[in-house]
Amino acid sequence: MKTGFDNEKYLKLQSEHIKQRIGEFGDKLYLEFGGKLFDDFHASRVLPGFAPDSKLRMLLQMADQAEIVIAINAADIEKNKVRHDLGITYDVDVLRLIQEFQDKGLYVGSVVITQYSGQSGADQFKTKLEHMGIKVYRHHCIEGYPSNVSLIVSDEGYGKNDYIETTRPLVIITAPGPGSGKMATCLSQLYHENKRGIKAGYAKFETFPIWSLPLKHPVNLAYEAATADLNDVNMIDPFHLEAYGKTAVNYNRDVDIFPVLNAIFEGIYGESPYKSPTDMGVNMAGFCIVDDEVCREASYQEIIRRYYHALNRLAKEEGSEDEVYKLELLMKQAKINPGMRRVIAPCMERANLIQAPAAAIELGDGTLVTGKTSNLLGASAAVLLNSIKMLGGIPHDLHLIAPSAIEPIQTLKTNYLGSRNPRLHTDEVLIALSMSAATDPIAKKALDQLPRLRGCQVHTSVMLSDVDIKVFKKLGAELTSEPVYEHKKLYH
């Protein structure tokens, strides 16, 4: 895969910039972390060369100076809000994040439950965490937030919140997802620190939009595509333009809230340390792009993938037409169309030819491989086997798994496990292949090709089962599907 981003430069430049910001404020910096601290696959897709754990690795360079506070909204606990990319609730994700950070060598100081108003679910979660030895704090709802600045910046506003005890100069505020109250947590802490005579500052680490790139740069358009369901809009920061005469890109929520945020800063400090929302940021990603064309093309492909994902959600009645319309508009702005995704045409041609579900994959060198539905295999399982044969230089007509080995699995599925579909899913095929690899060197050679599927593009003519979707995700392949079910049924 072509590289467009210098990850090592990013790690060095970003950590140095954060240390510089800590120094500007003196004793302590509260750093609001937007997006994902690790597993940032969106960034790695639109900035080829960006490692999904880059931000985590950057923090590890300052592990002795940093501690993490995880924020979660009490309302999200109460309604069991789910992270759709992981399929787990926000409260469960808090536990996952704590474990992941600790395993990586980062110190998690505490959890703060925001917008607390006596929710029983939040109380139960607090008790659960405390039994695990985790410190938990509560921040309350403030009437008139965020406009009633005089109340917010008072003992009846932020003053009623628990003061989060921290011990290190860099405090990372992160969360399971948006709307968790990260910024409010930072500002509440600034109020309490100021009351205690501690000089503390605030900054924001948001990878996208990249402020130093043009407003309609494909990387920034891809961010709008990723947040189409939230209806975020990139815009020129008017405060930055007025203060410095320079254009910088931010997004509507930060621009809209800045006058209020500025007033809160003035209420806490007497004056605001920032002239624009862009000033608050510390992101250096834009200075680490080494091949703009590679990043542009990667971003075009990301927008198209997001469009298909939105179509799929709409077909499943999980998404909205507005999200689809927003993505169609972004494609027009970027002057792209779905036909630019090379795997779509061969997939649909194969499906129309056989009048059955088909799949296609684009390998790293641009080779296109297709797969069709058969009595033994689903199309996604077939294209998976065909692609690793191609990568391993194995003849197409050679069976990697003997039909005699597949038939017992089909019998198990249909006769004993109640499945109506005898064809093997991708996970079942990989298990069968791994068993064959124990005694067959050719099957072993094919199995060894699986890591080479990371970053490959896949398209299917019908929506896949959750099992197949998860397998492609684990392999690192980028999947899109036509927004149609394989069978017309009332229940899927």
pLDDT band at 199 (very low <50, low <70, confident <90, very high): confident
pTM here is 0.89
Q: Quick one: pLDDT at residue 491? A: 46
Least confident piece of the model among 50-64, 281-295, 458-472: 50-64
More confident residue, 136 or 21: 136
Say which range, 109-118, 263-272, 319-328, has the weakest mean pLDDT. 263-272
The radius of gyration of the chain's CA atoms, rounded to the nearest angstrom, is 25
Mark whether 49 and 155 lie in a shared domain: yes
CATH classification of the domain holding 148 = 3.10.630.10
276 and 360 assigned to the same domain: no
Are residues 408 and 261 both part of a single domain? no
Residue 323 lies inside a defined structural domain of this protein = no
- Whether the CB-CB separation of 176 and 93 falls below 8 Å is answered with yes
pLDDT band at 375 (very low <50, low <70, confident <90, very high): confident
Across all residues in the chain, what is the average pLDDT?
92
In a domain, 378, yes or no: yes
Whether residue 424 sits in one domain with residue 352: yes
81-106 average pLDDT score: 91
Listed in sequence order, the residues at least 6 apart from 351 whose beta carbon sits closer than 8 Å to its beta carbon are: 357, 358, 461
Structural domain includes residue 453: yes
The CATH number that applies at residue 439 is 3.40.140.40
Structural domains of the chain, count: 2
Question: What's the pLDDT tens digit per position in 325-337?
Answer: 999 999 999 999 9
Q: In whole angstroms, give the CA distance from residue 4 to residue 191.
A: 42
| Cis before 403 (ω within 30) | no
As a whole number of angstroms, the distance between CA 305 and CA 25 comes to 42
The answer to whether residues 446 and 354 touch, using CB atoms and an 8 Å cutoff, is: no
Under DSSP, is residue 183 helix (H, G, I), strand (E, B) or coil?
Answer: helix
- Quote the pLDDT of residue 489: 58
User: Taking the mean position of all CA atoms in its chain, how far away is CA 307?
Assistant: 16
Provide the pLDDT for residue 492: 41
Domain boundaries, position 442: 342-481
Judgement on whether residues 350 and 209 belong to the same structural domain of the protein: no
pLDDT tops 60 at residue 3: yes
The CA distance from 294 to 376, in Å, is 40
Beta-carbon contacts of residue 308 (< 8 Å; ≥ 6 apart): 338, 480, 481, 482, 483
Q: How far apart are CA 115 and CA 117, in angstroms?
A: 6
Q: Examine the domain organization and report whether 272 and 412 are in the same domain.
A: no
Both structure tokens of 112 = 């703060």
Alpha helices in 196-270 (DSSP H): 218-226, 238-244, 252-269
Residue 328 lies in a domain: no
**139-187 tens-digit pLDDT:** 999 998 888 999 999 999 999 999 999 999 999 999 998 889 999 999 9
404, part of any domain: yes
Boundary residue ending a domain (288, 320, 354): 288
- Helix, strand or coil for residue 230? coil
Does any domain span residue 42?
A: yes
Query: Which tokens belong to 221?
Result: 């358009």
What is the spatial distance between Cα 277 and Cα 280, in angstroms, rounded to a whole number?
5
On whether both 272 and 409 belong to a single domain, the answer is no
Residue 221, domain member (yes or no): no
Residues of the chain with pLDDT > 70: what percent? 99
- Residue in the block written with tokens 């684990």: 474
How far is 367 from 387, CA to CA, in rounded Å?
9
Same domain flag for 278 and 410? no
Helix (H) or strand (E) holding 18: helix 7-25
State whether 34 and 171 are in the same domain: yes
DSSP tag of 81: -
Residue 338 in tokens: 């779905």
169 shares a domain with 53: yes
Per the omega criterion (within 30 degrees of 0), is the bond before 214 cis? no
Q: Are residues 279 and 349 in the same domain?
A: no
Domain presence at residue 367 = yes
Within this chain, do residues 265 and 351 fall inside the same structural domain, yes or no?
no
Whether the upstream peptide bond of residue 218 has omega within 30° of 0, thus cis, is no
Per-residue confidence (pLDDT) for residue 246, from 0 to 100:
96
pLDDT in tens, 395-441: 998 989 887 788 888 888 888 888 877 788 899 999 999 989 989 99
